[in-house]
Amino acid sequence: MTTALAPLARKPLLALPGLALAAALVGLAPAPAPAQTALSEAMQLDPEGRALLRAEIRRYLLEHPEVIMEAVKVLEDRREAAEANEARDMVSENRDEIFDDGYSHVAGNPDGDVTVVEFIDYNCGYCKKAHADVRKLVETDAGLRYVVKEFPILGPSSVTAAKAALAARAQQDGKLYMAFNDALMGHRGSLTDAQVWSIAQEVGLDVEALKTRAESPEIKAQIERTYELAKKLQIQGTPTFVIGDELVRGYAPLDHMRDVVSAAREKQG
């Protein structure tokens, strides 16, 4: 017994980062530098010695449970940082398709210093929730460029609405697009195809021309391009925002979006 634990005698367990050593022993994370030597020694223990070591680690963690939460926080911070870096790389690799695809509607200031791109689905409850905040963000920031990505993922009527919205850009130089977008987002509950066309008529669009263009190969290809872009960016839900070089997934309150826009401006200098 004494012999089995002898290699640890020079480094008392409680003087080491106990949870880091424990995590390394069970394969949850690599040991940090201060614990690497002790870990190497611990791995050479006989089964009885390893069992005693695990018992000592368990005792330490039970006496100091706050260490577990501290370690979880560190791991979560590292995971979030890695995901943010990965997202920035994905945005950088697909900048042209994200910000200037040539077919997605651009609102706000076309020459703005910061661009907010939003992937939307007209049947998405969280998109509807975000809609007023996004409009306020754009209306109160004269330097903001806003790009709408039609990303229908919630069924056939979502596809109909997205194709109709894209087709609306061909009428009256796209002047009715935002009114159509507002009306579709303002509809309570899920849309039907009939409701899409009814709303189009209400905002002043030529419905027959809209239906014809909505089914054109050009509009279908635009939807496919957005699907492909979303795949590259690992976007699976709506709303999803690209603000500067940051990906913001899911509903974000107005104040948070303003903070991300401000950070994007600071990065640009």
Is the pTM higher than 0.85? no
Q: Which CATH number fits domain 95-268: 3.40.50.720, 3.20.10.10, 3.40.30.10, 3.40.50.1000?
A: 3.40.30.10
Q: In what order do the strands lie in the sheet with 246-249?
A: 105-108, 144-150, 114-120, 240-243, 246-249
Average pLDDT, integer, range 189-209: 97
Question: Which backbone phi and psi does 102 adopt, to 5 degrees?
Answer: 90, -5
What is the per-residue pLDDT across 69-114, written as a single tens digit (0 to 9) for each?
Answer: 887 777 777 777 777 778 789 999 999 999 999 999 999 999 999 9
Residue with tokens 């939003």: 118
What is the per-residue pLDDT across 131-162, written as a single tens digit (0 to 9) for each?
Answer: 999 999 999 999 999 999 999 999 999 999 99
CATH 3.40.30.10 occupies which residues in the chain? 95-268
Classify 155 in phi/psi space as left (phi over 0), alpha (psi -120 to 50) or beta: left
Question: Which backbone phi and psi does 116 adopt, to 5 degrees?
Answer: -110, 120
Taking CA atoms, 181 is separated from 62, 127, 150, in Å, by 56, 11, 10
- Asked if the model's pLDDT at residue 34 lies above 90, the reply is no
What is the per-residue pLDDT across 54-66, written as a single tens digit (0 to 9) for each?
Answer: 888 788 778 878 8
Average pLDDT, integer, range 246-254: 94
Residue 223: predicted pLDDT: 98
Residue 12: predicted pLDDT: 40
Residue with tokens 């009814």: 198
Let me know the angle formed at the C-alpha of 173 by 176 and 182, rounded to the nearest 5 degrees. 20
How does residue 30 score in pLDDT terms, banded at 50, 70 and 90? low
CA-CA distance, 114 to 84, in Å (whole number)? 19
Residue with tokens 């795949």: 231
- Asked if the model's pLDDT at residue 40 lies above 80, the reply is no
CA-CA distance, 123 to 137, in Å (whole number)? 22
